[in-house]
Amino acid sequence: MKEMGTGGDSLSVKRVFIADDHNIVREGLQLLFSTSPFQVIGEASDGETALYKILTEFPDVAILDLNMPEMDGIEVTKRIKEKAPEIKVIILTIYTEEKFLVESMLAGADGYVLKTINKNELFFGIEEVCRGQKYIDGNLMQRAFFQVIRGEQKKDSVLTERELDVLKLMARGKTNKEISSELYIGSDTVKEYVTAIMKKLDSKNRTDAVAKAIRNQIIL
């Protein structure tokens, strides 16, 4: 297996794999990377082929479309992270809806960017995930910022350390009982924390709370 270039080594060439069911997108990315510090080592037009090649060739970064035949980008992400968590995954998509961002991040994606992203931002995002950071498209973050200044986030929305612990477990799909067991607190206490979190994040339910937390980078 070829030695990976991930981590803090900014001098190593980052090896990239592209998966998208549109030829023109793959060709465009190939052209884009041809004048970049990144090396494209493979591509695929469907999810099953992408998964096989990625787990065979071990790129530093896999760039995946959400909508692909055979297996979608979220499922491919899950399976990559199960087998080779060291491989970074960036979802490259047209979808701006919050639910797709949340599902992608919960599946283990390291980045989520839109196909309207410019070259420099994409390259920066790749470098960020290779350094172990999460990267969300600036346009999505800008939307969250404007929601804040319009007052859609309440002034009392700062979560306590314990509420953050509960929220992170909620994001992993844990039930109240499982959260109670992991944090060694009573079920009634967990319910109180969940209620407080939803109130502070102005959320209708647990999924909405997790979505807002990820979108606003309260948790990653």
Spatial distance between the Cα atoms of 195 and 187, rounded to a whole number of angstroms: 12
Name every residue whose Cβ is closer than 8 Å to that of residue 95 and which is 6 or more positions away in sequence.
Answer: 66
| 112-168 pLDDT per residue, tens | 999 999 999 999 999 999 998 888 887 776 555 444 434 444 444 578 888 888 998
Instruction: Give the pLDDT band (50/70/90) at residue 212.
Output: confident
Asked if residue 61 belongs to a domain, the reply is: yes
Q: What is the pLDDT of residue 210?
A: 87
Residue that terminates a domain, selected from 115, 146, 177: 146
* pLDDT confidence tier of residue 213, bands split at 50, 70 and 90: confident
One domain, residues 99 and 185:
no
Residue with tokens 């910022």: 145
Domain that holds residue 203: 161-215
The answer to whether residues 25 and 123 belong to one domain is: yes
- pLDDT tens digit string along 63-90? 999 999 999 999 999 999 999 999 999 9
State how many domains the chain has.
2
The single residue listed with the structure tokens 């992270």 is 81
pLDDT of residue 143: 58
CATH code, domain carrying 201: 1.10.10.10
